[in-house]
């Protein structure tokens, strides 16, 4: 990821010069959301353990301030910033580095400080000289187009996700508890190199939504929902899948076809230059035409997909109010997951990349309603 990170550091320096700014103070709260940018990872290439900063002066000099201090050797080996400083006192170190880089709070801007605890954020701003203007979209926009390296990682992460789902199909059986099944899926993907995973997996004879695994015992006839979201070297991807423990009813099978149709409609509509709202409406139209228009809103669904952290969550939530224009190189998950009154919540979705040829699924295996023999 060295070239990608370095290019983003250079773009940031250019932005500072163009806008007459003294510097950038980018923060990570160390909570790695699959829905959000981690500014420190984007600008340093390091996923921090605790709250950390990247500071960039107008000269272009960049410093990663990593906490806890004992993590400095790892961070130094990974970071693409010019310097790395370890600290257990983030505010005072930030103040010292700001002075070295001639960063003034009045002419700097901040990313991610709003996500820190207010006490720590306030102490950092005080140490630097005062409140810093927040431009939290800066890193989201900076990293919105995935590099070739990142897309390759996203493809590999998708392969891991599919292996996780295969583990579900091979392992699930009546009498097993949900958390036991979730553990096997998670461990399979970690053994393939996935460092993190937003994994929801639950089952019911009539699901209201997908949720985290519980102590519930699997039974024949259960519809198993899986939202499998491995992260590989900072690239989250997500697949959404549905499997039935036993023979699916005709109603479940028919309803699932509706989701597949919506997915196809979304893929057809998602090209560079089209809006997120447009592609959302294309997917929603399938459900509206089938008589489920009243169900295209929470609590019957949430969104039709979303961006993927921890580099950039662009293009954001796939919903009908989002007018962001899709660009070549964006990666996001498209998932027309839907509650259908007669059969419950069903899931179907893949990570997609926007290419010259339109939106392309990164998955290699078919997205179908699977049957698990009992």
Partner 1 sequence: MQTVHPCIILGSYALDADRLPEDEFKIRLDQAREGMEQAGLDALLVYGDARDHGALAYLTNFIPRMRWALALLPLRGEPRLLCSVSSRDVPAMKTMTWIEDVYSGWEWKWFGDWVGRVRGDGASRFGAVGFDLMPAGLLGDIRRDLGETAEIVEAGHVLGRSLETRRPRELMLIRSAAQIVNECAAIFVRGQRDGKPFETAALEAEGHARRQAAQDVRTLVSFDGGRNLEPFRGEFDATGTSATCYIAIKYMGFWTDAFISVGADQTKAIPVSAALRSLIDETKPGVRFDALHSLAAGHLGSLELHPVIQGSFGHAIGLSPSVGPGIRAGETAEITAGAIYSLQVGTRDLDGGCLASALVLARPDGAEVLALSVPQ
Contact residues toward partner 1 (CB under 8 A) are 30-34, 47, 49-50, 68-70, 73-74, 88, 114-122, 177-180, 182-183, 186-187, 190-200, 208-209, 211-215, 229, 231, 236, 298-302, 309
Which of 172, 112, 169, 118 lies closest to 143 in space, CA to CA? 112
Decide whether 187 or 325 has the Cβ nearer to partner 1. 187
CB of 128 to partner 1, least distance (A): 16
Q: Which is nearer to partner 1, 47 or 80 (CB)?
A: 47
Residue number, 69 or 148, with CB nearest to partner 1 = 69
Shortest distance, position 233 Cβ to partner 1, whole Å:
8
CA Rg, the chain, in Å? 22
Tell the smallest beta-carbon distance from residue 164 to partner 1 (Å): 13
Identity of the residue, 182 or 263, whose beta carbon is nearer to partner 1 in the bound complex: 182
Spatial distance between the Cα atoms of 192 and 194, rounded to a whole number of angstroms: 6
Residue 192: strand, helix, or coil: coil
Min CB(162)–partner 1 separation in Å: 17
Least distance to partner 1, CB of residue 85, Å: 15
Give per-residue burial for 275-305: e unless 16+ CB within 10 Å, then b. Answer: bbbbbbbbbbebbeebebeebbeeebbebbb
Please say which residue, 7 or 187, places its beta carbon nearer to partner 1.
187
User: Least CB distance from residue 106 to partner 1, whole Å?
Assistant: 19
Looking at beta carbons only, is 12 or 29 nearer to partner 1? 29
Task: Give the C-alpha separation, 136 to 147, whole Å.
Answer: 21
82-110 b/e (C-beta count within 10 Å ≥ 16 → b): eebbbbeebbebbbbbbeebebbbebbbb
Give the SS3 label for residue 160.
Answer: helix
Alpha helices in 90-217 (DSSP H): 90-100, 118-128, 137-142, 148-171, 178-191
Least Cβ distance, residue 307 to partner 1 (angstroms): 14
- Pick the closer one to partner 1 by CB: 269 or 348: 348
DSSP state at residue 231: E
């Amino acid at each position: 990821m060295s070239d990608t990170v370095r290019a983003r550091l250079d773009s940031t320096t250019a932005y500072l010069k163009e806008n007459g700014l003294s510097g950038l103070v980018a923060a990570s709260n160390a909570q790695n959301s699959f829905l959000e940018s981690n500014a420190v990872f984007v600008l340093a290439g390091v996923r921090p353990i605790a709250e950390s900063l990247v500071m960039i002066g107008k000269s272009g000099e960049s410093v990663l301030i990593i906490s806890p201090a004992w993590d400095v050797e790892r961070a130094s080996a990974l970071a693409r910033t010019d310097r790395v400083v370890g600290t257990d006192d983030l505010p005072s170190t930030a103040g010292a580095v700001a002075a070295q880089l001639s960063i003034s709070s009045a002419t700097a801007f901040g990313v991610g400080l709003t996500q820190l605890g207010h006490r720590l954020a306030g102490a950092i701003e005080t140490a630097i000289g005062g409140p810093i203007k927040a431009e939290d979209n800066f890193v989201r926009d900076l990293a919105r187009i995935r590099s070739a390296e990142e897309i390759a990682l996203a493809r590999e992460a998708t392969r891991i996700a599919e292996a996780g789902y295969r583990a579900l199909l091979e392992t699930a059986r009546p009498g097993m508890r949900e958390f036991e099944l979730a553990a096997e899926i998670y461990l399979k993907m970690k053994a393939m190199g996935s460092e993190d995973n937003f994994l929801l997996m639950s089952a019911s004879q009539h699901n209201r939504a997908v949720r985290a695994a519980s102590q519930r015992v699997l039974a024949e006839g259960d519809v198993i929902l899986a939202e499998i979201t491995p992260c590989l070297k900072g690239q989250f991807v997500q697949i959404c899948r549905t499997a039935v423990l036993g023979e699916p009813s005709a109603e479940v099978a028919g309803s699932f076809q509706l989701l597949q149709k919506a997915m196809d409609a979304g893929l057809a509509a998602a090209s560079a230059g089209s809006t997120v709202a447009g592609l959302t409406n294309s997917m929603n139209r399938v459900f509206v035409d089938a008589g489920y228009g009243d169900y295209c809103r929470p609590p019957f669904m949430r969104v039709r997909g979303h961006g993927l952290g921890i580099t950039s969550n662009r293009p954001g939530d796939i919903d009908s109010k989002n007018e962001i224009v899709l660009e070549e190189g964006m990666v996001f998950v498209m998932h027309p997951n839907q509650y259908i009154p007669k059969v419950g919540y069903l899931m179907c979705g893949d990570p997609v990349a926007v290419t010259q040829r339109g939106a392309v699924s990164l998955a290699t295996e078919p997205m179908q309603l699977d049957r698990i023999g009992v």
